Amino acid sequence: MISSTKLKSVDFYRKIPRDLTEATLSGAGLSIVAALSMVFLFGMELSNYLSVSTSTSVIVDNSTDGDFLRMDFNISFPALSCEFAAVDVHDVLGTNRLNITKTIRKFSVDSNLRSTGSEFHSGPLSNLIKHGDEVDEEANEGSAVLNARNFDRYANQHPILVVNFYAPWCYWSNRLKPSWEKAAKTIRERYDPELDGRILMGKVDCTEEDFKRPGSIPPREF
């Protein structure tokens, strides 16, 4: 058998006997400094781990107005028109809301992203509908609904205002209605009232609105 003395002869980490070592003041000082440093670092790490802090930063966008960010949204609705899609932008603080629907271009596309129709134009609302008010069924058509309250305002806003004075019971007015609304819709698509405003087509129901103009002839049914 191999003796323990022979095994100890191949030891790479031989230990020096304590009796042969000598302690010095410099070594003791370094040992004390090292121990204190270890205790200090451990305490700082523990304190940092147990503490709770909140960090807030606000970044101001200094870009010019001419710098725009283009974003393409691919939204698929099997049975929903793109006219109902809108995008609102909120700032980082959530206190300011920007409606950018007017600058969005909407197209209907197929599975290959090819346009299948003309660009959709939402157009402005002719009047605001409040809770409890009766909704005009013709308010979403091409021509604007005019009355005694908004006639002068529309006439001053648009250099060219073409008005159809009609009566619901009139045969010729009903025959004119489809062509009139189609022409008004085409005018809205070519000359957006909110962006261009050079021309607007409207209509007035002579049986409900009384403008009280001198010399006006009330409609009569035959």
pLDDT tens digits along 134-147: 444 444 457 888 88
| DSSP at 12 | S
Residue 3 has pLDDT above 70, yes or no: yes
Return the half-sphere exposure (C-beta side, CA atoms, 13 A cut-off) of residue 47.
Answer: 6
Give me the pLDDT at residue 214, please. 53
The mean of the pLDDT values for the chain is: 75
Buried b (16+ CB within 10 A) or exposed e, 45-62: eeeeeeeeeeeeeeeeee
Domain boundaries along the sequence of the chain: 68-122, 126-222
- Cα–Cα nearest to 10, from 20, 2, 18: 2
Give me the pLDDT at residue 23, please. 84
pLDDT tens digits along 21-52: 888 888 899 999 999 999 999 999 999 899 88
- Specify the higher pLDDT residue, 55 or 211: 55
Give me the pLDDT at residue 40, please. 97
Buried b (16+ CB within 10 A) or exposed e, 138-162: eeebbbbbbeeeebeebeeebeebe
Indicate the pLDDT class of residue 81, thresholds 50, 70 and 90.
Answer: low
Mean pLDDT calculated for residue range 82-90: 66
- Cα–Cα nearest to 122, from 76, 87, 160, 157: 87
Q: Catalytic residues, which ones? A: 170
Give me the pLDDT at residue 138, please. 43
Distance separating alpha carbons of residues 79 and 30, to the nearest angstrom: 80
Give me the pLDDT at residue 128, please. 47
Give me the pLDDT at residue 124, please. 47
pLDDT tens digits along 152-172: 888 888 888 899 998 888 888
Q: Which CATH number is 126-222's, of 3.40.50.620, 3.40.30.10, 3.10.20.90, 3.30.420.40?
A: 3.40.30.10
